[in-house]
Amino acid sequence: MKLVFATHNHNKVKEVQRLLPKGITLVSLNDLGITEDIPETEKTLEGNAKLKSDYVYKNYNLSCFADDTGLLVDALNGEPGVYSARYAGIQNDAHANMDKLLKNLADKDNRSAHFKTVISLNLAGTTQFFEGVVEGEITTSKKGDKGFGYDPIFRPNGYDQTFAELPLDIKNEISHRGKAFSKLITYLNDHHVT
Ligand code: ITT
């Protein structure tokens, strides 16, 4: 079957592509020539994930899934959370976002944080949600050049390296997105969605 991923983020597509079982082909918005930005105006990850999957279903009549992800830092009361993409003011300026976070944590002892992904699956107008979380901590400087977004400053619990230093297969095995996506695949299999 073809599964539409309602995202313009090619890094998310690359990660999920690796996790696909045989028989499922991933189609991104870029593959479909859909270029318009889908404004994320909700105040929760669930709300924004649904907004993206609903947009594609309503405007293009395509069943699809969307992912909304946030980095929640304990010492900052869960910031940047749902506002992770524009934490420093400019949409998806990863270095500015990381710099702001490192600055805001400079005088904090507690550096624990977690990534959370919510996937919204819209199948013929009906929505299901799947979540994944990975716990870790924010490093004191950026390390590694793999991955994207906040990966250079996030070290998952149980590892000495940041997500940007770890191979993608390891990130996928333990990550927020990997966990949420594997729940989505189980759901599709259990419900014989082909
Ligand atoms: P789409 O909405 O088109 O899917 P996006 O990049 O805007 O793409 P999000 O709103 O879900 O995606 O992402 C919120 C922010 O969190 C954004 O700055 C991302 O770079 C960052 N982010 C998302 N997943 C991440 C991951 O696995 N590792 C590090 N940073 C991540």
Interface confidence, given as ipTM, is 0.98
Q: How many Cα atoms are found within 13 Å in the side-chain-facing hemisphere of 21?
A: 12
More confident residue, 23 or 57: 57
For the cut 90, the answer to whether the pLDDT of residue 1 exceeds it is no
Is 68 among the residues known to form the active site?
yes
Sign of the dihedral defined by the CA atoms of residues 77, 83, 89, 90, in that order: positive
Kindly tell me if the per-residue pLDDT of 55 is higher than 90.
Answer: yes
Q: Specify the residue with its C-alpha closest to ligand 1, atom 5.
A: 9
Query: So what CATH class is 2-190?
Result: alpha beta
More reliable by pLDDT, 24 or 79: 79
Residue 24 or residue 149, greater confidence: 149
Dihedral of CA atoms 161, 68, 73, 100 in degrees, nearest 10, equals: 80
How far apart, in Å, are the Cα atoms of 152 and each of 120, 128, 194?
27, 31, 37
Residue 10, marked binder: yes
Distance of alpha carbon 127 from the chain centroid: 18
Closest protein CA for atom 19 of ligand 1: 149
> Does any ligand 1 atom lie closer than 6 A to the CB of residue 28?
no
Spatial separation of the C-alpha atoms in residues 114 and 96, rounded to whole Å: 19
Residue 22 or residue 58, greater confidence: 58
Contact 67 CB / ligand 1 (< 6 Å): yes
Reported pTM? 0.97
